[in-house]
A and B are shown apart, each in its own frame.
Chain A
Amino acid sequence: MIISVASGKGGTGKTLVTTNLAASIGDVDLVDCDVEEPNSYLFFPDREEEASFDCTVIIPQINEDKCTRCGKCSEFCAYNALAVFPQSVLLFKELCHGCGGCALVCPEGAISEGTRPIGKIFRARSGDVRLLWGELNVGEPMATPLIRSVKAEAKGDLVLIDSPPGTACPVIETVRGSDFCLLVTEPTPFGLYDLSIAVQVVREMDIPCGVVVNRSGVGDQGVQKYCKKENIPLLLEIPMKREIAELYSRGVLFSGKMTEWQERFADLLARIEEEIR
């Protein structure tokens, strides 16, 4: 079973929920797909790192001896990643999606394929929580190939995925294939508005979803009313408590200190399982 934890708005508590849920239920793969800013591993300071390796993408390699500068490759490239000059061909590697089209259209067979790293994948373990995360190199615009690779590393029966914020391509790549999507929000107008966009996205992808309200008690009742109207299960409310915020700020799992929460997170998993059935 794959459960992804997403939110439209950033900073609503995705990582808080994912890490505490993982630690409370155990025997789980915790996959951090927020590869632009991965944080979940920071909450497992006792982790033992097991492996790290580069995530690479395919790029074209041009054999300048065979190349006649005909320009067919740059004409074909949908991403403007190739520029053909009278003397040479220039590749803007960050723009390349690795589709392989340039090699297919080259009439001289002058293009072969190589690879280049765009980020790193890390594997670690903390007790019976298996941690996986990706880290995108600074300056790289495209997170999706790294997200795809990190997800492919998760092999367990129960996989929890921490998603990036927003609703654009990195989020879609992250939640694609999930059995359930947990949407974390806060009870404010920003939280509600971004939640409503996220709900439209997961509904369009046919993924069942439920809501966790974080910092419950501040703000207004808009999110609760919205969930009722849209018939979306509100699965857990985490109250606004200075203690939780302070523990989080220090990188401490609050369910480890406020142990009654371990049961609440275990119940959350049970509710999700019911919803899927």
Chain B
Amino acid sequence: MKQLVVISGKGGTGKTTMTASLATLAGRAAVVADCDVDAPDLHLLLNPKIRETHDFFGLKIAAIDPERCTECGECERACRFGAIHNFKVDSRGCEGCRVCTIVCPSEAVSMVERVSGHAFVSETRFGTMVHAELFPGEEASGKLVTMVRELAVKVAEREKKEMVLIDGSPGIGCPVIASITGTDVALVMTEPSISGAHDLARILEVAEYFGVEALVCVNKYDLNPEMTGEIDRLCRELNVDVIGKLPFDPAVVEAMISEKTLVEVEGPVGEAVRSVWDRIRTKL
């Protein structure tokens, strides 16, 4: 079984639209995993019917029992994250290290576990999808990404699928690292702008750092052909294949509004996506 992840340094370059379209082309050969857990949009295109719901336990965070607390302030002094004020824990600042529990002389601090989100296994018109919701303001999105991926692999093995297709998140930090480690190929979406090119260079470094083969696809390449040329040059220098260029096409937004993927509507962009898929398949 192969794992393909769609990522981008810059946000809004078409990861989700691409993932949904690839899912259409893969048909029932793939399990789709939405690992952009703090802005998950894939379900808006694939309309999943939830089959299984799993609780996600995020970080355990500290809680102070006011009955036992003598207001000595030891915990506040020891907390490196500035998460304790006036003998109360700010759940958004707490990183769950437990230092407060060992410095408290009156055993007033304990760690509480709580459900921070859910992971789902669902049925879509293209087969099985694994996705998640992180409750607003909850942390540990990298941990939830790992949970979604583990579930997706388990389901893929059970259903004897050839591939797990992962929709990643923007950036280069913890959820991105959790999305790409151990995958076979990363399809990197970018756009021909100064920001797109800058962010592409950084995400390609990340892929190399984690030993994942990267393939690049330039979205809306015709908005700035000159910058597309620069992206081509950058990729040649880094020995990375540019496997596709998608034209700017108003049909893309129309497709999103009608909850369809790009290969389910007419237009030049659908053809371009098909050729990206063919080239990925040869790679895998």
Contacts and interface: CB of A to CB of B under 8 A. Distances in A.
Given A76-B98, A141-B173, A246-B224, A37 B80 contact: no
Interface string A165-187: 11111111000100000000010
B89 to A, nearest CB: 14
A105 B78 CA distance: 13
A265 to B, nearest CB: 19
Interface string B200-215: 0011011001100000
Given A78-B96, A141-B142, A251-B194, A9 B12 contact: yes
B199 A165 contact: no
Given A9-B39, A37-B172, A140-B173, A249 B193 contact: yes
Nearest to A40: B195
A11 interface: yes
Interface in A141-180: 141-143, 164-172, 176
B97 interface: yes
Interface in A164-213: 164-172, 176, 186, 188-190, 193-194, 197, 200-201, 204-205
A15 B136 CA distance: 23
A58 interface: yes
A172 B9 contact: no
Contact of B202 (A15, A138, A164, A168): A138
Contacts of A36: 9, 170-173, 176, 202
A70 to B, nearest CB: 16
B132 to A, nearest CB: 12
Contacts of B131: none
A168 B80 contact: no
B76 interface: no
B41 A167 contact: no
B203 to A, nearest CB: 8
Contact of A165 (B39, B134, B139, B224): B39
Nearest to B99: A101
A5 interface: no
A217 to B, nearest CB: 10
Contacts of A167: 38-39, 134, 136-137
Contacts of B206: 138-139
Contacts of B112: none
Interface string B18-44: 000000000000000000111101001
Interface in A1-30: 8-12, 15
A42 B10 CA distance: 14
B3 interface: no
Nearest to A138: B205
Contacts of A246: 223-224
A205 B85 CA distance: 16
B136 A10 contact: no
Interface string B50-64: 000000000010000
Interface string B224-238: 100100000000000
Contacts of A138: 172, 202, 205-206, 209
Contacts of B141: 166, 168-169
B198 A166 contact: no
A252 B44 CA distance: 33
A136 interface: yes
Given A10-B10, A11-B11, A204-B137, A193 B170 contact: no
Interface in A81-132: 97-101, 104-105
Given A10-B11, A205-B92, A194 B80 contact: no
B136 A168 contact: no
Contact of B136 (A170, A197, A242): A197
A248 B125 CA distance: 38
A15 B256 CA distance: 24
Interface in B127-181: 134, 136-142, 169-177
A79 to B, nearest CB: 8
B39 A248 contact: no
Contacts of B259: 189
Those 3 A-B pairs whose CB atoms lie nearest each other, nearest first: A11-B12, A10-B11, A99-B97
25 contacts: A36-B176, A37-B10, A37-B199, A39-B199, A99-B80, A100-B99, A101-B97, A101-B102, A138-B172, A139-B206, A141-B142, A164-B171, A165-B39, A166-B171, A167-B136, A170-B171, A172-B137, A189-B259, A200-B137, A205-B137, A246-B224, A249-B191, A249-B196, A249-B227, A251-B195
